[in-house]
């Protein structure tokens, strides 16, 4: 993947996760640089729904911008940098304050996968509390040591709740990250309803979480979801998808289809 393709894909992931209601004016999505694992890509400071490829800049793993710009930067960049440092296999990170997950950030309620889609949140969802190491703060994760502490709390898992703040999610690809971020937030919304019904909630067990989560993170389901959200984004942005895939208008979504094709490993869908 070229740097230009990466910036295009990252901008799109920002806008998809915003359109699906997980990000709003705040939060951000990054990806590791496609050819230099010692750098990552992140937008300048603006609402994720507005991010375009030209907003995306390169950062070192110490979260310094490579080519300084005049515009503002996200102050919480260290969330991304410190996770990339700690987890070489992580290729993309999203930090958000999804409304459906805030109730879990301020109570002792554990997040539980209700089905295989929710199981992509990971075997456990650890909780990080900024008070434990840093006392009373403005809640922002702006210092390197705060980012490093959060990364330690995430440990080997994929989603970490941040007390009185939000959540941070990691993925082995931008598309996996998008899938996990959205379905974990959806699962949380349904779990609240299920907890309230109070009739003995029984979520997936450990083996089901592993089997179900892994099978959903295969290229087939991940790219199927990515195509779906991507077309929804195109529609919401006024770029109507072509009805006939062979017509001239079809070129618009060509890159996306190509990505699906390149990653396709088996014919086994869902």
**Contacting a second copy within 41-80 (CB under 8 A):** 44-47, 49-50, 52, 54, 70-76
Segment contacting a second copy (CB under 8 A): 2-10, 29-37, 114-122, 144-152? 114-122
How many residues can be counted in the chain? 270
**Which residues, numbered 219-248, are part of the site for a second copy (CB under 8 A)?**
220-221, 224-225, 227-229, 231-232, 235, 237-238, 240-241, 243-245
Residue 39 vs 224, nearer CB to a second copy: 224
Is 133 noted as a catalytic residue in this protein?
no
Residue 37 vs 245, nearer CB to a second copy: 245
Residue 88 vs 262, nearer CB to a second copy: 262
Q: At closest approach, how far in Å is the CB of 36 from a second copy?
A: 24
Q: Which residues pair with 160 in a beta bridge?
A: 168
Q: Does 8 bind a second copy (CB under 8 A)?
A: no
Cβ contacts of residue 164 below 8 Å, gap of 6+?
Answer: 105, 106, 129, 130, 139
Q: At closest approach, how far in Å is the CB of 53 from a second copy?
A: 10
**Options 10, 13, 17, 114; binder of a second copy; rule CB under 8 A:** 114
CB-CB contact of 56 with 41 (8 Å) = yes
Q: Does 164 bind a second copy (CB under 8 A)?
A: yes
Q: At closest approach, how far in Å is the CB of 155 from a second copy?
A: 23
Where on the phi/psi map is residue 22: left (φ > 0), alpha (ψ -120 to 50), or beta?
A: alpha
Q: How far is CA 268 from the centre of its chain?
A: 25
Residue 35 vs 239, nearer CB to a second copy: 239
- CA distance to 3, 48, 240, 267, per residue, from 6 (Å): 5, 16, 23, 26
Q: How far is CA 9 from the centre of its chain?
A: 13
Q: At closest approach, how far in Å is the CB of 212 from a second copy?
A: 5
Q: At closest approach, how far in Å is the CB of 35 from a second copy?
A: 26
How far apart are alpha carbons 105 and 128 in whole angstroms? 9
Cβ contacts of residue 120 below 8 Å, gap of 6+?
Answer: 113, 158, 179, 180, 183, 184, 213, 216, 217
Residue 34: strand, helix, or coil: coil
Q: Which residues are catalytic?
A: 76
């Amino acid at each position: 993947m070229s740097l230009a393709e990466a910036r295009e894909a990252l901008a799109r992931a920002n806008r998809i996760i915003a359109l699906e209601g997980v990000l709003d004016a705040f939060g951000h999505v990054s990806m590791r640089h496609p050819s230099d694992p010692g750098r990552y890509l992140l937008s300048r400071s603006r609402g994720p729904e507005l991010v375009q490829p030209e907003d995306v800049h390169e950062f070192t793993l110490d979260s310094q911008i490579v080519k300084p710009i005049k515009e503002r930067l996200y102050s919480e960049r260290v969330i991304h940098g410190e996770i990339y440092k700690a987890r070489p296999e992580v290729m993309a990170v999203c930090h958000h304050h999804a409304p459906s997950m805030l109730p879990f950030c301020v109570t002792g309620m554990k997040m539980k996968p209700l089905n295989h889609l929710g199981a992509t949140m990971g075997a456990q969802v650890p909780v990080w509390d900024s008070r434990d190491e840093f006392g009373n703060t403005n809640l922002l994760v702006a210092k390197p040591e705060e980012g490093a502490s959060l990364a330690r709390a995430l440990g080997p898992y994929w989603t970490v709740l941040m007390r009185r703040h939000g959540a941070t999610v990691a993925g082995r690809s931008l598309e996996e990250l998008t899938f996990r971020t959205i379905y974990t937030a959806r699962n949380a919304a349904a779990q609240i309803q299920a907890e309230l019904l109070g009739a003995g909630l029984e979520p997936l067990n450990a083996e089901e979480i592993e089997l179900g989560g892994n099978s959903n993170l295969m290229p087939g389901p991940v790219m199927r979801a990515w195509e779906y959200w991507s077309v929804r984004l195109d529609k919401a942005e006024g770029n109507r998808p072509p009805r006939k895939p062979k017509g001239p208008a079809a070129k618009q979504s060509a890159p996306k289809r190509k990505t699906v094709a390149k990653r396709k490993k088996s014919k086994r869908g869902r």
